[in-house]
Amino acid sequence: MGISQERSLLPDLRWQLTTAVRPRRQVIGERASRLAILDEAERFIALCYAEHPGLGPVSERLRQVRAEIEALGTYRHTTAELTFAARVAWRNSSRCIGRLYWRSLRVRDRRDIRTSDEIAAEAVTHLREASRDGRIRPLITVFAPDAPGRPGPRILSQQLVSYAGYQSGDKVTGDPQSTVHTRLAQRLGWPGGNPQGRFDVLPLIVAEPGRAPAWYPLPADAVRQVPITHPNHDWFADLGLRWYAVPVISDMYLQAGGIRYPAAPFNGWYMCTEVGSRDLGDSGRYDQLPVIAERLGLAADNDLNLWKDRALTELNVAVLHSFRSAGVTITDHHTESARFIKHLETEERQGRNCPADWSWIVPPAAASATPVFHRYYENFDQTPNFYRHPRLSLAGHEPG
Ligand code: ARG
């Protein structure tokens, strides 16, 4: 990659980011936009006050909100409303099997923060508070919302912690899911690992509107990681596998009551199949099944011996064992499936219909041995909710 290409990327990327977060009102007109916000706001406030009678009369609050939107084109959630918004966004996340604990989500209100430097510092605090001594707690940090003519900041990283994927030709060292972000970090000036390793923690990439993204290395002590070992196979440690303790999703925005919070990183704890079956097992990710099968003495040229299934199971056993021995919260897909069924029952008792997406809820291992497999769900989209930002793409900037 030559210097000139590197330079030319930044203004374009800046443009892309600014337009991506351009408030809708500029597109569909101020009046229409106010009506849209008002409509969403009214529904949200009504829901919030109906579920929390202690907050007082809804009519008074609705009057305030209407006046604020009329005057400013936006309004500010109270702390109670923001907390409710984040929790219900989780409750409405139809792909998440872990929703039984939606009420326990802790909300860090950082709506006054919009500079990259401060966001990076708060992200580090988030990591520390979420992982504590290994007892992971569900946590969200909410940064400044979009406002008319004033888009909020964005975190470009997919998760606060992720591993680099260095591409060279067809070969990727590290996580193939991170190649675009790794390239971006490098172009912004991140030197990368020296030597480049399979588990180099990527720097955090943050974008203030109208400015080029900035990268921030994460302090090692804020990034808890777990070496993967197996309870019965000593050779497993020799594979040199590891994973980070907390998945903090940072490329989704929180949409609630007509307000969009473009940077609102949140986390729960891992279910073993996320790491064992998918992150380390997928052929498009760390692709560890062939090497594990080999060590297990299974011929990988014969589908009839179910080498993939057996390797997957041992990898999941290893992930669970490793997190547990490290004292880091993790759950298995059987426990989590049973909890999800309980969640559905609780929701039903509350008179709520729980949206769920079968293809995401059913675990990628032992599917039919879990109760979530044997039923259908209704999937529908309702706010508050989390939505993924458009994928970061460096298309058109690739050499050759
Ligand atoms: N599946 C993603 C990963 O493997 C994390 C998604 C969120 N997971 C969670 N347990 N909250 O990194």
CA of 268, closest atom in ligand 1: 11
In a domain, 81, yes or no: no
Between 4 and 254, the higher pLDDT residue? 254
Q: How confident is the model at residue 398 (pLDDT cuts 50, 70, 90)?
A: very low
Burial label for 282, CB within 10 Å (0-12, 13-18, 19+), is middle
Cα dihedral 347, 350, 355, 356, rounded to 10, equals 10
Q: Is the pLDDT of residue 10 over 60?
A: no
Which two structure tokens, joined as six digits, stand for 12?
A: 């374009």
In a domain, 393, yes or no: no
CA 247 to ligand 1 center in whole angstroms: 5
> Using a 6 Å cutoff on CB, does residue 175 contact ligand 1?
no
Q: Is the pLDDT of residue 384 over 50?
A: yes
Q: Which residues are catalytic?
A: 96, 99, 269, 274
CA of 270, closest atom in ligand 1: 10
Q: Tell me the sheet residues that pair with 174.
A: 165
Residue 112 shares a structural domain with residue 70: no
CA 16, distance to chain mean position in Å, is 22
Q: How confident is the model at residue 397 (pLDDT cuts 50, 70, 90)?
A: very low
> Using a 6 Å cutoff on CB, does residue 347 contact ligand 1?
no
In a domain, 223, yes or no: yes
Q: What tens digit of pLDDT does each residue of 48-105 get?
A: 999 999 999 999 999 999 999 999 999 999 999 999 999 999 999 999 999 999 999 9
> Using a 6 Å cutoff on CB, does residue 245 contact ligand 1?
no
What's the rounded Cα separation, in Å, for the pair 315 and 317? 5
In a domain, 396, yes or no: no
Q: Tell which residue, 144, 161, 230, has the closest CA to residue 202.
A: 161
Q: Is the pLDDT of residue 134 over 70?
A: yes
Report the mean per-residue pLDDT for the chain.
Answer: 93
For a ligand 1 pocket test, name from 99, 249, 252, 270 the mutation site with the most ligand atoms within 8 angstroms of its C-beta. 270
* Final residue belonging to a domain, choices 23, 53, 75: 75
In a domain, 344, yes or no: yes
Q: Tell which residue, 384, 324, 328, 325, has the closest CA to residue 355.
A: 384
Q: What tens digit of pLDDT does each residue of 35-57 get?
A: 999 999 999 999 999 999 999 99
Which two structure tokens, joined as six digits, stand for 377?
A: 């769900």
Q: Which residues contact 211 (CB under 8 A, 6 or more apart)?
A: 14, 116
* Final residue belonging to a domain, choices 21, 42, 75: 75
CA 118 to ligand 1 center in whole angstroms: 25
> Using a 6 Å cutoff on CB, does residue 163 contact ligand 1?
no
Q: Is the pLDDT of residue 23 over 60?
A: no
pLDDT > 90: what percent of the chain?
Answer: 89
> Using a 6 Å cutoff on CB, does residue 281 contact ligand 1?
no
Q: How confident is the model at residue 2 (pLDDT cuts 50, 70, 90)?
A: very low
Q: How confident is the model at residue 30 (pLDDT cuts 50, 70, 90)?
A: confident
175 close to 304: Cβ distance less than 8 angstroms: no
Q: What pLDDT was estimated at residue 19?
A: 45
Q: The pTM is what?
A: 0.93
Residue 36 shares a structural domain with residue 93: no
**Whose alpha carbon is nearest atom 12 of ligand 1?**
247
Q: What tens digit of pLDDT does each residue of 260-288 get?
A: 999 999 999 999 999 999 999 999 999 99
In a domain, 63, yes or no: yes
Q: What pLDDT was estimated at residue 29?
A: 80
Structural domain harbouring 62: 3-75
Burial label for 278, CB within 10 Å (0-12, 13-18, 19+), is middle
CA of 159, closest atom in ligand 1: 12
In a domain, 397, yes or no: no
391 phi and psi angles, rounded to 5 deg: -60, 140
Domain count, the chain: 2
CA 234 to ligand 1 center in whole angstroms: 27
**Whose alpha carbon is nearest atom 10 of ligand 1?**
270
User: Mean pLDDT over residues 256-262, rounded?
Assistant: 98
Is the previous residue joined to 247 through a cis bond, with omega within 30 degrees of 0?
no
Residue 135 shares a structural domain with residue 274: yes
Residue 101 shares a structural domain with residue 43: no
User: Mean pLDDT over residues 236-246, rounded?
Assistant: 98
Q: How confident is the model at residue 13 (pLDDT cuts 50, 70, 90)?
A: low
Residue 249 shares a structural domain with residue 140: yes
Reduced 3-state DSSP string for the chain: CCHHHHHHHHHHHHHHHHHHCCCHHHHHCHHHHHHHHHHHHHHHHHHHHHHCHHHCCHHHHHHHHHHHHHHHCCCCCCHHHHHHHHHHHHHCCCCCCCHHHHHHCEEEECCCCCCHHHHHHHHHHHHHHHHCCCCCCCEEEECCCCECCECCCEECCCECCCECEEEECCEEEECHHHHHHHHHHHHHCCCCCCCCCCCCECCEEEECCCCCCEEECCCHHHCCEEECCCCCCHHHHHHCCEEECCCEECCEEEEECCEEECCCCEECCEEHHHHHHHHCCCCCCCCCHHHHHHHCCCCCCCHHHCHHHHHHHHHHHHHHHHHHHHCCCEECHHHHHHHHHHHHHHHHHCCCCCCCCHHHHCCCCCHHHCHHHHCCCCCCCCCCEEEECCCCCCCCCCCC
CA of 162, closest atom in ligand 1: 12
* Final residue belonging to a domain, choices 20, 54, 75: 75
In a domain, 36, yes or no: yes
Between helix 30-51 and helix 58-72 the angle, nearest 10°, is 160
Q: What pLDDT was estimated at residue 395?
A: 62
Which two structure tokens, joined as six digits, stand for 64?
A: 């305030």
> Using a 6 Å cutoff on CB, does residue 274 contact ligand 1?
yes
What's the rounded Cα separation, in Å, for the pair 205 and 43? 34
Q: Tell me the sheet residues that pair with 227.
A: 242
Residue 368 shares a structural domain with residue 326: yes
**Whose alpha carbon is nearest atom 5 of ligand 1?**
247
Residue 212 shares a structural domain with residue 237: yes
Q: How confident is the model at residue 364 (pLDDT cuts 50, 70, 90)?
A: very high
> Using a 6 Å cutoff on CB, does residue 336 contact ligand 1?
no
Q: What pLDDT was estimated at residue 8?
A: 39
**Whose alpha carbon is nearest atom 4 of ligand 1?**
274
User: Mean pLDDT over residues 208-224, rounded?
Assistant: 96
Q: What pLDDT was estimated at residue 15?
A: 39
Residue 349 shares a structural domain with residue 201: yes
Residue 173 shares a structural domain with residue 53: no
Q: What pLDDT was estimated at residue 28?
A: 56
Residue 306 shares a structural domain with residue 383: yes
Number of residues written out for the chain:
400
Q: Is the pLDDT of residue 153 over 80?
A: yes
Residue 130 shares a structural domain with residue 105: yes
CA 269 to ligand 1 center in whole angstroms: 8
Residue 180 shares a structural domain with residue 243: yes
What's the rounded Cα separation, in Å, for the pair 400 and 398? 6
Which two structure tokens, joined as six digits, stand for 190?
A: 């991140």
For a ligand 1 pocket test, name from 249, 274, 337, 361 the mutation site with the most ligand atoms within 8 angstroms of its C-beta. 274
Q: How confident is the model at residue 394 (pLDDT cuts 50, 70, 90)?
A: confident
Q: Is the pLDDT of residue 1 over 60?
A: no
Between 310 and 27, the higher pLDDT residue? 310
